[in-house]
Amino acid sequence: MTKAKTRSRPASPKKIEPMSLIAADDDDLQSYFLTLSDLLSHTAATDPDGGTRKLSDAVNWIMRKARNVHAAGNKLIFVGNGGSAAIASHMATDYSKNGNVRAMAFNDASMLTCLGNDLGYERVFAKQIELYARKGDLVFVISSSGRSANILNAAEAARAAGCTVITLSGFTADNPLRKMGHINFFIDSDRYGFVEIGHLTICHAILDFLCGLHALRADASADISSYAVPKAVASK
Q: Does a structural domain hold residue 40?
A: no
The pTM (predicted TM-score) of the whole model is 0.82
Phi, psi of 54 (to 5 degrees): -60, 135
Residue 200 forms part of a structural domain:
yes
What integer best gives the mean pLDDT of the chain?
Answer: 86
Flag whether pLDDT at 11 surpasses 60.
Answer: no
Residue 17: pLDDT band by 50, 70, 90 thresholds? Answer: low
Domain span holding position 191: 76-212
Of the pLDDT bands very low, low, confident and very high (cuts 50, 70, 90), residue 233 is very low
Domain assignment present for residue 87? The answer is: yes
pLDDT tens for 67-97 read: 999 999 999 999 999 999 999 999 999 999 9
Q: What's the CATH code of the domain at 196?
A: 3.40.50.10490
Q: Confirm whether 92 is domain-assigned.
A: yes
pLDDT at 193 over 90: yes
Share of the chain above pLDDT 70, in %: 81
Q: Report yes or no on 80 lying in a domain.
A: yes
The answer to whether position 57 is within a domain reads no
Please tell me the total count of domains within the chain.
1
Q: Residue 223: pLDDT band by 50, 70, 90 thresholds?
A: very low
Residue 53 β-bridge partners: 45
128: in domain:
yes
Q: Do the domain assignments include residue 117?
A: yes
Burial annotation 38-76 (CB, 10 A radius, 16+ → b, else e): ebbeebbbbeeeeeebebeebbebbbebbeebbeeebbb
pLDDT at 22: 74
